[in-house]
Amino acid sequence: MKAKKALKRLNKVEALLSNVIDQFPASKQELGELLNSAKAAVSRAQETINSQLSTSAEKKTQPRGEIARRAGVTTDGRQSTPLAPVKRRPSAKRKSINALTRRRLKKTA
């Protein structure tokens, strides 16, 4: 299960436990203590998941930045692009020929 989904479910469980604890009669101390311990366990689970989310978010942000810098064409690459294909495209388009494959374009109905 994903961490965000688990957190949502734990929030619902904690809200339900709070409701039950509030409506529970004070005369039943043993059951009240059990419910309080269950609520404490749910809150500890939420804290654990939150700490895991924060550490995993830090790890994921670093590689994305490196990948984004590597992607794309650099200025040197743009300058070294051959001009022949660039010049060929407008004339091929007028003749309805694909500039790269040199095949005729099919008409769509």
pLDDT tens string 64-83: 555 555 556 666 666 665 66
Mean per-residue pLDDT for 35-64? Answer: 80
Is the model's pLDDT at 63 over the cut of 60? no
pLDDT confidence of residue 43:
93
Mean per-residue pLDDT for 7-28? Answer: 88
Entry pTM: 0.47
Query: Exposed e or buried b for every residue in 45-81, given b needs 16+ CB within 10 A?
Result: ebeeeeeeeeeeeeeeeeeeeeeeeeeeeeeeeeeee
Domain ranges of the chain: 3-72, 73-109
Question: Residue 106 — pLDDT band, cuts 50, 70, 90?
Answer: confident
Take residue 73 and report the two structure tokens written for it: 């064409």
The residue that leads in pLDDT, 71 or 42, is 42
> How many CA atoms does the CB half-sphere of 88 hold within 13 Å?
10
The residue that leads in pLDDT, 2 or 107, is 2
Q: Name the amino acid, one letter, at 45.
A: A
pLDDT confidence of residue 54:
78
